[in-house]
Amino acid sequence: MAFQAALAALAHECSTCQRCPLAQGRQQVVVSRGNPLARLMLIGEAPGAQEDELGQPFVGRSGQLLDQLLAAAGLDSNQDAYICNGVKCRPPGNRKPTALELAACRPWLQHQIALVQPQVLVLVGATALQAVLGLKGPISQLRGQWQFFEGRACMPIFHPAYLLRNGSSQPGRPRDLTRADLVAVREHLLALR
The span from the CA of 146 to the CA of 163, in Å, is: 20
CB neighbours of 148 closer than 8 A, spacing ≥ 6? 154
- Give the C-alpha distances (Å, rounded to integers) separating 167 from 161, 170, 171, 176: 10, 9, 12, 10
Q: Which of 23, 142, 177, 184 binds ligand SF4 (CB under 6 A)?
A: 23
**Which segment (81-89, 110-118, 135-143, 171-179) binds ligand SF4 by CB under 6 A?**
81-89
* Residue 123 bridge partners (DSSP): 43, 156
Q: CB–CB of 122/159 below 8 Å?
A: no
Q: CB–CB of 189/120 below 8 Å?
A: yes
Closer by beta carbon to ligand SF4, 18 or else 78 = 18
Cβ neighbours around 79 below 10 Å, total: 10
96 is a site residue for ligand SF4 (CB under 6 A): no
Q: Which of 43, 73, 105, 116 binds ligand SF4 (CB under 6 A)?
A: 105
The span from the CA of 129 to the CA of 9, in Å, is: 27
**Which segment (15-23, 68-76, 128-136, 166-174) binds ligand SF4 by CB under 6 A?**
15-23
Q: Which of 6, 7, 11, 19 binds ligand SF4 (CB under 6 A)?
A: 19
**Which segment (61-69, 99-107, 129-137, 155-163) binds ligand SF4 by CB under 6 A?**
99-107
Q: Which of 10, 29, 41, 131 binds ligand SF4 (CB under 6 A)?
A: 29
Residues at the site binding ligand SF4, with contacts judged by CB under 6 A: 14, 17-20, 22-23, 29, 87-89, 101, 104-105, 108
